[in-house]
Amino acid sequence: MKKIIVLITSMLMTTLSFHAQSFETATQAVKNMKVGWNLGNTLDSNSGDVNNMWIEAYNTSRKPSDYEKAWGQPITKPELIKMFKDAGFNTIRVPVTWYPHMEANITSLKWDKEKNDIGTKIQAAWMKRVHEIVDYVISQGMYCIINIHHDTGAANTAWLIASEEDYAKEKDRFEAVWTQIAEEFKDYDEHLLFEAYNEMLDPYDSWCFASFGTSARYNTKVATSAYNAINSYAQSFVNAVRATGGNNAQRNLIVNTYGSCSGGGTWNSHLKDPLKEMKCPTDAAGVGHIIFQVHTYPSLVKDDKVTNRTLKSIQDEIDDMIDAWKTYLVSKGAPVIVGEWGTSNVDAKVTDYDARRALMLKFAEYFVKQCKINDIATIYWMGLSDGAHRSVPEFNQPDLKDAIIKGYYGEGGYSGVSPLIYKPSSDTPIFDLQGRRIVKPQRGIYIQNGKKYIAK
């Protein structure tokens, strides 16, 4: 009997080992993600103020489309995702806010969170729409990231707060939400990644580093509690996802620093604390399936004039940030992605606009290039295609798109073409040209892993 048990255990371990090998490592995934874009202000939209729950009050039907369009974006279509794929992008981050789509019955402008709790169960209609957009991305052979987005942040609707007290209060709910998401997508392959939370802040809504929002601008007790909480949330996320099994047993998972802070700048000695205090979660999948994420929106001008910043000073700032990510994050055994990036003050048409625009394009190209050299994937925030431009679809900032693509692919840009193949494999999803999942393909052209094939 003992020999049989040992044999069965050995066979199970062999099976698990083989299955684990079928998923690329986090390092391989980050390299393959290349450059990406955020489908922002879409599934992440929300009212954001318990005293002005305007989406719920004026759209009492609470249809997913009411939220998807609430912040000025059109309904997402597969053609938009294909446009990014054809341009050379290989990752779409899909920010998702969940709290309006759970159990709270919010029907008026004011919401009492204590009396009308969001519960733990995600509405089926919302999950279905998230699933549809994920399929739009996966059908193009691109990497897709889904997360918990504006359930964090500075708004008073946020329920995920970086403090030990709040973690203890929300741990079970947080794990329950991730269990549902993980179960929904447990059969998806390595192209789907989960991100634990977005920009989680302490009770003082401190940006840059924990406790910066306190009156003293730094408080050891508040900061320690915040960093401990971030690491606890990250560990709970990994545990919850892994427990669902299936492909989630090896799926690459993303955890963000406190506030998704990048550690950039030198104006305060605590700026790099979010990097230093971040831990790599213990992972049942073993080493190599965790990714760290940061966000960065550097200022390219000073005193409202571009002439007060040189390109060299901006490049030096980028180099310093990348060095810090390698020193304080990569050294802990996980690669880094920049899940959101852009510039904080070059978009408005103000003094020196042309000079600012030229500087921004040079910054973007250099930033992407240096990140690629250092095996860091970059995912631009939403402005490359915005508002009505998404319905065309078209890039409303084609010059910025070109700078990003040039930064990654070089002067020649991107010229990749998906070839036609005739016999698709049966172990990955198949889609039609509209991004709809196909169970049994009939005659016609279909897509699998971003490649077209003809079914006869």
Q: Which residue carries 């601008």 as its tokens? A: 217
Specify the pTM.
Answer: 0.89
Pair type for strands 437-438 and 336-341? unpaired
Which stretches of the chain drop beneath a pLDDT of 50?
A: 1-21, 346-350
Query: What does the pLDDT read at residue 357?
Result: 85
pLDDT in tens, 173-208: 999 999 999 999 999 999 999 999 999 999 999 999
Question: How is residue 318 written in tokens?
Answer: 């980028």
Verify cis geometry, omega within 30 degrees of 0, for the bond prior to 335.
no
What residue has token string 């992440």?
44
C-alpha span between 140 and 234 (Å, rounded): 29
* Cβ neighbourhood burial of 410 (10 Å; 0-12, 13-18, 19+): exposed
Helix H, strand E, coil C: the string for 137-185 is HHCCCCEEEEECCCCCCCCCCCCCCCCHHHHHHHHHHHHHHHHHHHHHC
Q: What pLDDT shows up at residue 193? A: 98
Confidence at residue 23, expressed as pLDDT on a 0 to 100 scale: 87
Amino acid identity at 3: K
Q: Are strands 377-380 and 35-38 parallel, antiparallel or unpaired?
A: parallel
Q: Tell me, what's the pLDDT at 306? A: 54
Instruction: Give me the pLDDT at residue 13, please.
Output: 37
In degrees, rounded to 5, the angle at the alpha carbon of residue 371 between the alpha carbons of residues 366 and 377 is 125
Strands 430-431, 437-438: pairing kind = antiparallel
